[in-house]
Structure 1
Amino acid sequence: MNPKTQSILAYLGVLWLIAYFGSKGKRDTLSIYHLRQGLGLLVVAILANVMLSVTIMLVPTLGTPLSLVSVVFLVLMIFGIINAANEVQKPLPLIGKLFENRFSFLDKS
Protein backbone atom coordinates (compact mmCIF):
# COMPACT_ATOMS: atom_id res chain seq x y z
CA MET A 1 0.00 0.00 0.00
CA ASN A 2 1.47 3.35 -0.99
CA PRO A 3 1.63 6.34 1.41
CA LYS A 4 -1.10 8.27 -0.41
CA THR A 5 -3.57 5.39 -0.02
CA GLN A 6 -2.60 4.96 3.64
CA SER A 7 -3.16 8.66 4.19
CA ILE A 8 -6.64 8.60 2.65
CA LEU A 9 -7.69 5.48 4.57
CA ALA A 10 -6.56 7.12 7.81
CA TYR A 11 -9.65 9.34 7.75
CA LEU A 12 -12.21 6.62 7.15
CA GLY A 13 -12.93 5.47 10.71
CA VAL A 14 -12.41 1.74 11.10
CA LEU A 15 -10.33 1.67 7.91
CA TRP A 16 -7.72 3.53 9.97
CA LEU A 17 -6.71 0.09 11.26
CA ILE A 18 -6.09 -1.14 7.72
CA ALA A 19 -3.96 1.92 7.01
CA TYR A 20 -2.01 1.39 10.23
CA PHE A 21 -1.41 -2.35 10.04
CA GLY A 22 -1.10 -2.41 6.25
CA SER A 23 1.75 0.06 6.41
CA LYS A 24 4.06 -1.61 8.93
CA GLY A 25 7.60 -0.72 7.99
CA LYS A 26 6.54 1.31 4.95
CA ARG A 27 5.39 4.57 6.55
CA ASP A 28 6.76 7.91 5.43
CA THR A 29 6.17 11.33 6.99
CA LEU A 30 3.03 11.90 4.91
CA SER A 31 1.28 8.75 6.04
CA ILE A 32 2.35 9.20 9.68
CA TYR A 33 1.01 12.76 9.66
CA HIS A 34 -2.37 11.71 8.27
CA LEU A 35 -2.58 8.68 10.55
CA ARG A 36 -2.19 11.09 13.48
CA GLN A 37 -4.81 13.48 12.13
CA GLY A 38 -7.22 10.64 11.30
CA LEU A 39 -6.86 8.98 14.69
CA GLY A 40 -7.34 12.33 16.42
CA LEU A 41 -10.49 12.96 14.42
CA LEU A 42 -11.80 9.49 15.23
CA VAL A 43 -11.17 9.90 18.97
CA VAL A 44 -12.79 13.35 19.09
CA ALA A 45 -15.79 12.15 17.05
CA ILE A 46 -16.35 9.16 19.34
CA LEU A 47 -16.10 11.29 22.49
CA ALA A 48 -18.41 13.94 21.05
CA ASN A 49 -20.97 11.32 20.00
CA VAL A 50 -20.96 9.75 23.45
CA MET A 51 -21.47 13.15 25.10
CA LEU A 52 -24.20 14.07 22.62
CA SER A 53 -25.97 10.74 23.15
CA VAL A 54 -26.04 11.28 26.90
CA THR A 55 -27.29 14.84 26.45
CA ILE A 56 -30.02 13.72 24.04
CA MET A 57 -31.11 10.99 26.47
CA LEU A 58 -31.44 13.59 29.23
CA VAL A 59 -33.09 16.26 27.05
CA PRO A 60 -34.81 14.56 24.10
CA THR A 61 -36.02 17.85 22.59
CA LEU A 62 -32.41 18.68 21.71
CA GLY A 63 -32.11 15.57 19.54
CA THR A 64 -32.51 17.18 16.14
CA PRO A 65 -30.27 20.23 16.67
CA LEU A 66 -27.50 18.28 18.37
CA SER A 67 -27.54 15.49 15.80
CA LEU A 68 -26.37 18.06 13.24
CA VAL A 69 -23.01 18.19 15.05
CA SER A 70 -22.08 14.93 13.32
CA VAL A 71 -22.08 16.84 10.03
CA VAL A 72 -19.08 18.80 11.35
CA PHE A 73 -17.10 15.57 11.66
CA LEU A 74 -18.10 14.54 8.15
CA VAL A 75 -16.84 17.88 6.81
CA LEU A 76 -13.56 17.51 8.76
CA MET A 77 -13.16 14.00 7.34
CA ILE A 78 -13.64 15.35 3.80
CA PHE A 79 -11.04 18.09 4.44
CA GLY A 80 -8.60 15.42 5.64
CA ILE A 81 -9.18 13.20 2.62
CA ILE A 82 -8.66 16.14 0.27
CA ASN A 83 -5.40 17.04 2.01
CA ALA A 84 -4.24 13.41 1.88
CA ALA A 85 -5.15 13.07 -1.80
CA ASN A 86 -3.19 16.23 -2.57
CA GLU A 87 -0.28 14.90 -0.47
CA VAL A 88 -0.33 18.02 1.74
CA GLN A 89 0.53 17.96 5.44
CA LYS A 90 -2.07 20.48 6.55
CA PRO A 91 -3.87 20.17 9.90
CA LEU A 92 -7.61 19.70 10.06
CA PRO A 93 -9.57 22.85 10.86
CA LEU A 94 -10.52 23.33 14.54
CA ILE A 95 -8.81 20.21 15.95
CA GLY A 96 -5.84 19.39 13.72
CA LYS A 97 -3.18 21.28 15.70
CA LEU A 98 -3.99 19.19 18.79
CA PHE A 99 -2.79 15.99 17.14
CA GLU A 100 0.29 17.01 15.19
CA ASN A 101 2.66 15.78 17.91
CA ARG A 102 0.49 13.14 19.58
CA PHE A 103 0.36 9.38 19.18
CA SER A 104 4.10 8.75 19.27
CA PHE A 105 3.56 5.01 18.67
CA LEU A 106 3.02 5.85 15.01
CA ASP A 107 6.68 6.85 14.64
CA LYS A 108 7.80 3.28 15.23
CA SER A 109 7.84 1.01 12.22
Structure 2
Amino acid sequence: MLALGRLVADDTLLRWSSRISAWMGDFDQVDMSIRWSYSQRPAEAQQFDRKLAIMCYLSIFGWLLAYRMPKEQRSTLVNFHLRQMTLLHIVTLACLFSQVAMLPVWGWSSLMMSGVCFGVIMLMRMFGVMAAMNSSQEPLPIIGRLAQRLLRDI
Protein backbone atom coordinates (compact mmCIF):
# COMPACT_ATOMS: atom_id res chain seq x y z
CA MET A 1 0.00 0.00 0.00
CA LEU A 2 2.83 2.35 0.85
CA ALA A 3 4.58 1.60 -2.45
CA LEU A 4 1.37 2.35 -4.35
CA GLY A 5 0.98 5.67 -2.55
CA ARG A 6 4.58 6.57 -3.28
CA LEU A 7 4.12 5.65 -6.95
CA VAL A 8 1.02 7.85 -7.19
CA ALA A 9 2.84 10.73 -5.48
CA ASP A 10 5.85 10.38 -7.80
CA ASP A 11 3.55 10.28 -10.84
CA THR A 12 1.70 13.39 -9.66
CA LEU A 13 4.97 15.21 -9.05
CA LEU A 14 6.23 14.21 -12.49
CA ARG A 15 3.05 15.45 -14.16
CA TRP A 16 3.16 18.79 -12.33
CA SER A 17 6.85 19.31 -13.06
CA SER A 18 6.26 18.59 -16.76
CA ARG A 19 3.37 21.07 -16.80
CA ILE A 20 5.49 23.73 -15.10
CA SER A 21 8.42 23.12 -17.44
CA ALA A 22 6.09 23.27 -20.45
CA TRP A 23 4.75 26.62 -19.23
CA MET A 24 8.13 28.10 -18.31
CA GLY A 25 10.05 26.60 -21.21
CA ASP A 26 12.59 23.85 -21.35
CA PHE A 27 15.35 24.27 -18.77
CA ASP A 28 17.96 23.31 -21.38
CA GLN A 29 16.63 26.01 -23.65
CA VAL A 30 17.28 28.72 -21.05
CA ASP A 31 20.51 26.99 -19.96
CA MET A 32 19.65 26.39 -16.29
CA SER A 33 23.08 25.89 -14.80
CA ILE A 34 25.24 27.60 -12.20
CA ARG A 35 27.02 29.46 -14.97
CA TRP A 36 23.75 30.75 -16.41
CA SER A 37 24.29 34.21 -17.84
CA TYR A 38 21.75 36.85 -18.74
CA SER A 39 24.10 38.21 -21.38
CA GLN A 40 23.73 35.09 -23.56
CA ARG A 41 19.98 35.38 -24.14
CA PRO A 42 18.65 38.56 -22.50
CA ALA A 43 15.12 38.42 -23.96
CA GLU A 44 14.55 34.80 -22.92
CA ALA A 45 16.07 35.41 -19.50
CA GLN A 46 13.77 38.38 -18.88
CA GLN A 47 10.76 36.32 -19.93
CA PHE A 48 11.84 33.49 -17.62
CA ASP A 49 12.30 35.93 -14.71
CA ARG A 50 8.89 37.46 -15.30
CA LYS A 51 7.22 34.03 -15.28
CA LEU A 52 9.09 33.04 -12.13
CA ALA A 53 8.01 36.28 -10.40
CA ILE A 54 4.38 35.60 -11.35
CA MET A 55 4.63 32.02 -10.06
CA CYS A 56 5.77 33.34 -6.66
CA TYR A 57 2.29 34.79 -6.17
CA LEU A 58 0.22 31.98 -7.69
CA SER A 59 1.13 29.05 -5.48
CA ILE A 60 3.38 27.86 -2.70
CA PHE A 61 5.09 25.59 -5.23
CA GLY A 62 6.03 28.55 -7.42
CA TRP A 63 7.35 30.36 -4.38
CA LEU A 64 9.40 27.29 -3.39
CA LEU A 65 10.76 26.99 -6.92
CA ALA A 66 11.95 30.60 -6.84
CA TYR A 67 13.27 30.29 -3.29
CA ARG A 68 15.26 27.12 -4.02
CA MET A 69 16.87 28.67 -7.09
CA PRO A 70 20.49 29.70 -6.32
CA LYS A 71 20.94 33.39 -5.51
CA GLU A 72 23.43 33.86 -8.34
CA GLN A 73 20.78 32.88 -10.88
CA ARG A 74 17.97 35.06 -9.53
CA SER A 75 17.44 38.51 -10.97
CA THR A 76 16.49 41.58 -8.96
CA LEU A 77 12.90 41.22 -10.20
CA VAL A 78 12.59 37.68 -8.85
CA ASN A 79 14.27 38.64 -5.56
CA PHE A 80 11.91 41.59 -5.14
CA HIS A 81 8.74 39.55 -5.65
CA LEU A 82 10.13 36.66 -3.60
CA ARG A 83 10.57 39.00 -0.61
CA GLN A 84 7.08 40.43 -1.06
CA MET A 85 5.47 37.01 -1.15
CA THR A 86 7.54 35.68 1.76
CA LEU A 87 6.18 38.38 4.06
CA LEU A 88 2.69 37.86 2.64
CA HIS A 89 2.94 34.14 3.51
CA ILE A 90 3.99 35.07 7.05
CA VAL A 91 1.03 37.46 7.36
CA THR A 92 -1.31 34.77 6.01
CA LEU A 93 -0.10 32.26 8.59
CA ALA A 94 -0.46 34.85 11.37
CA CYS A 95 -4.06 35.56 10.30
CA LEU A 96 -4.83 31.85 10.15
CA PHE A 97 -3.40 31.11 13.60
CA SER A 98 -5.06 34.15 15.17
CA GLN A 99 -8.42 33.16 13.69
CA VAL A 100 -8.09 29.62 15.04
CA ALA A 101 -7.03 30.97 18.45
CA MET A 102 -9.96 33.40 18.63
CA LEU A 103 -12.60 30.93 17.49
CA PRO A 104 -13.34 29.65 21.04
CA VAL A 105 -13.42 33.20 22.44
CA TRP A 106 -15.42 35.08 19.82
CA GLY A 107 -17.21 32.16 18.23
CA TRP A 108 -18.40 32.38 14.68
CA SER A 109 -18.12 36.17 14.57
CA SER A 110 -14.35 35.73 14.26
CA LEU A 111 -14.97 34.22 10.82
CA MET A 112 -16.15 37.60 9.57
CA MET A 113 -12.86 39.18 10.64
CA SER A 114 -10.86 36.39 9.00
CA GLY A 115 -12.85 36.85 5.79
CA VAL A 116 -11.87 40.51 5.71
CA CYS A 117 -8.24 39.62 6.46
CA PHE A 118 -8.03 36.97 3.73
CA GLY A 119 -9.82 39.30 1.30
CA VAL A 120 -7.13 41.93 1.84
CA ILE A 121 -4.43 39.27 1.40
CA MET A 122 -5.97 38.11 -1.90
CA LEU A 123 -6.16 41.73 -3.07
CA MET A 124 -2.47 42.20 -2.29
CA ARG A 125 -1.67 39.01 -4.19
CA MET A 126 -3.53 40.36 -7.21
CA PHE A 127 -1.56 43.62 -7.02
CA GLY A 128 1.65 41.58 -6.85
CA VAL A 129 0.71 39.48 -9.89
CA MET A 130 -0.10 42.62 -11.88
CA ALA A 131 3.24 44.18 -10.92
CA ALA A 132 5.09 40.98 -11.85
CA MET A 133 3.27 40.80 -15.20
CA ASN A 134 4.45 44.33 -15.96
CA SER A 135 8.00 43.45 -14.79
CA SER A 136 7.87 46.33 -12.33
CA GLN A 137 9.18 46.39 -8.80
CA GLU A 138 6.26 48.21 -7.26
CA PRO A 139 5.86 47.38 -3.53
CA LEU A 140 2.62 45.97 -2.18
CA PRO A 141 0.32 48.52 -0.49
CA ILE A 142 0.64 47.75 3.23
CA ILE A 143 3.63 45.47 3.69
CA GLY A 144 5.76 46.15 0.60
CA ARG A 145 8.45 48.43 2.01
CA LEU A 146 8.59 46.42 5.23
CA ALA A 147 9.26 43.24 3.25
CA GLN A 148 12.16 44.83 1.40
CA ARG A 149 13.66 46.14 4.62
CA LEU A 150 13.23 43.01 6.76
CA LEU A 151 13.98 40.32 4.20
CA ARG A 152 16.89 41.81 2.28
CA ASP A 153 18.98 38.66 2.81
CA ILE A 154 16.67 36.49 0.67
TM-score (norm 2): 0.62
Bigger shift: residues 57-66 or 26-35: 57-66
* Identical residues among aligned pairs (%): 29
The answer to whether 1:47 aligns with 2:65 is no
Partner of 1:96: 144
Residue 31 of structure 1 deviates from its aligned partner by 0.6
Give the secondary structure class of the aligned counterpart of 1:37: helix
User: What SS does the aligned partner of 2:96 have?
Assistant: helix
2:104 is the alignment partner of 1:70: no
| Residue 50 of structure 2 corresponds to residue 4 of structure 1 | yes
Q: Is the 8 A contact 1:10 1:35 kept in 2?
A: yes
For structure 2, which runs of at least 5 residues remain unmatched after alignment? 1-23, 25-47
Greater length-normalized contact order (CA 8 Å, ≥ 6 residues apart): 1
Q: 1:104 to 1:97 in 2, by over 3 A?
A: closer
1:105 partner amino acid: D
Deviation at 1:99, TM superposition (A): 0.6
- What are the equivalent positions in structure 2 for 1:17-36 lying under 5 Å apart? 17-21=64-68, 23-24=69-70, 25-36=72-83
Q: Is the contact between residue 95 and residue 114 of structure 2 (CA under 8 Å) also seen in structure 1?
A: no
Pairs aligned (count): 105
* One-letter amino acid of the counterpart of residue 6, structure 1: L
Structure 1 residues 101 and 64, CA gap change in structure 2 (3 angstroms): closer
Distance 1:46 1:98 in 2: 17
Q: How much does 1:34 deviate?
A: 0.5
TM-score relative to the length of structure 1? 0.85
RMSD of aligned C-alpha atoms? Answer: 1.6
Contact 2:49 2:78 in 1 (8 A): yes
User: For 1:105, what is the secondary structure of its paired residue?
Assistant: coil
CA deviation after TM superposition for structure 1 residue 64, in Å = 3.4
1:37 matches 2:84: yes
Structure 1 counterpart SS, 2:73: coil
